[in-house]
Structure 1
């Protein structure tokens, strides 16, 4: 039994791809029992068919045996049980509703309107369990939009305005390499889900939690008043630096890059001391925050010229000696291997159920540390339908003959 804070809660996971499965991954890591419902006619979650695959011989672009599993599923399927259920078959509804009766939460990320057409929407689920918390993650919200309403991460990045917050003025839009739209929405979905669970425990009534990818990402863009900043002369796109917080940004040394964040008077004085310009800290150019903002280009150019003549190690050492917040810009391989994050379980090795861990494969942990509860996301991802018989038998009480008849009818 899990000792996580959500121990005793059961989640019916109807999600696929990334946004939904990441939400249920977090719920599983927090201790909930997550039962992943997958369509057997389409090979299950689309993530199962994302190249590359972990095979007995290592990573490959194509499958070589039925035991091979995509890296995407190795990461997103951890800690879950897999049940196959063809929700387009009429007989599947009874199985689905029996699952809902025994659950606390349903999470789905179909396009708006699909669950209603299938007869498995919140109205249908709440009719059999009025305590159910039913969370929907979609591109634009449950009300949908004109057209097909389908959304991928890059579409959401484009619509949210986030592509125009990075790069230099006049540059082409910059797509974030991290699928930020697909990752932000599930965070809000988990917050909403757990809030609704608390409310259901208080009131005895569940509810529908409706989270849109566009709204989630745009809400973060709105945290910075870009329009107002532009109106007083700050460019929307500032490249490597943030002039209104100078000195603040990334700089190139001879053998690598580093970042500094030194907007306060004390930190700025430290930066000027480190580059051998301590006497400028009390001048009209840099003595105050407003003065440094006015002269941000000059200040950043001075630091950049100084850095260009030094090794990364010596530049960082000089800034640290002057108590300036500074760090090297690391690549992802170095970042995910940092003992600070692996030791806290914030990043964890990915393990294939048969082939074990392949060096270099790491996945998201649950980046929270509780004083009493235990977080565990180490259980390998399941094979497609691996737990169908046990879930239907042990949880729902179906006898083996009934399960076999459902399988013969194409329901499972």
Structure 2
């Protein structure tokens, strides 16, 4: 966990976390890293779905299958950082009462059930607002709270419906799944924006509100930043694979030992590219003499660049381009990217480990990619390795329940 030297921006705020899998837990992970106290609520029978995600880490190192009871899914290890865990069977009336007691003490609730589920369980916004008018309640679902009940969504479903899969790849290729769970990661960022906005409004009004974020809406809003209809009307090929032909030259080009990304959209950059290629006369070729002509002849220009870059290793190509002031970079593997000192030093990628066992593998995961001049970021040294690990602490210390009552709730299967 990160050693904290200054207060974090959200210190003093309490979040009741009903989320599971990735989208919701990433939203509460961001809030945890910004300093909020997170109380993660899980079903006593198995807990968060992410606990069953392979691979696992434990006494035998990294394994595809769980071999020991204390093996921990790396998904859970990374998403549950900085959170205290309680277990509640929300189908039981007694558990719902405990939840409402938590809400009375809280500032924020976050849930990512399918639309209508939270209300049906008695833990939705109406029930929460009735016991705490200041509560900020965020619902993050596949299609929004106004969608018909039962509409389930996973990242790949949202990628498919948003059009994102046909925004990547070449014109004659199958749809391309974006390699990171972009819908699962994007919607929680909007959720946190909504929560922080509602907090600011609460400072003025004194009351909370319901925030409704749709995964489909979040990703589609990003797809919509390009005007696909306009490109089609102009006869421009929108789906161009490794390059963006309407900005040519702009994209990824093949080298002798890998790939390089480069950007040379303006005259000065294009001329620098041609000099790096050892062919400055290309700047006077009518096909490439100005920006519009380069776009109109993008296929020929990209073929010319690839013919040059394929003859050289990536180090040579990047050095030649940088010497001419052309933005360029090696296309790296994620493992290499997570070791870049530019992100490590800023704690944007951070190490993570099993709490009891060391590993020879350099495990790294997401930090908080924000640097404050007057505040810190990072995670409290707490995590619910077992389902309901912090039941006694939260119910006893936070809610003031007696040891006898907690024991009775446990015996009844409520927690």
Flag whether TM exceeds 0.5 (same fold). Answer: yes
Q: Any idea what the Cα deviations from partners look like across 1:44-75, whole Å, max 9, x if unmatched?
A: 10101111110111011222222211000011
SS at match of 1:359: coil
1:296 corresponds to which of 295, 298, 316: 298
Give 1:308 shift. 1.0
Contact persistence 2:83–2:380 (CA under 8 A): no
2:411 — aligned with what? Answer: 408
Q: Which shows bigger deviation, 331-340 or 355-364?
A: 355-364
Q: Any idea what the Cα deviations from partners look like across 1:330-362, whole Å, max 9, x if unmatched?
A: 011101111111111101111211114552321
Within 5 Å, give how 1:3-402 maps onto structure 2.
3-41=7-45, 43-145=46-148, 148-356=150-358, 358-377=360-379, 379=381, 381-383=383-385, 384-402=387-405
Counterpart CA distance in 1 for 2:222 and 2:121 is 33
Give 1:28 shift. 0.1
Contact persistence 2:17–2:41 (CA under 8 A): yes
Q: Which shows bigger deviation, 358-367 or 28-37?
A: 358-367
Counterpart CA distance in 1 for 2:359 and 2:214 is 35
SS at match of 2:232: helix
The answer for unaligned runs of 5 or more in structure 1 is: none
Counterpart CA distance in 2 for 1:211 and 1:14 is 15
Counterpart CA distance in 1 for 2:358 and 2:107 is 32
The answer for unaligned runs of 5 or more in structure 2 is: none
Give 1:373 shift. 0.6
Decide whether aligned partners of structure 1 residues 116 and 64 sit closer, same or farther in structure 2, where only a CA change above 3 A counts.
same
Give 1:380 shift. 5.3
Contact persistence 1:74–1:380 (CA under 8 A): no
Q: TM-score, normalised by structure 2?
A: 0.96
Q: TM-score, normalised by structure 1?
A: 0.97
Contact persistence 2:84–2:382 (CA under 8 A): no
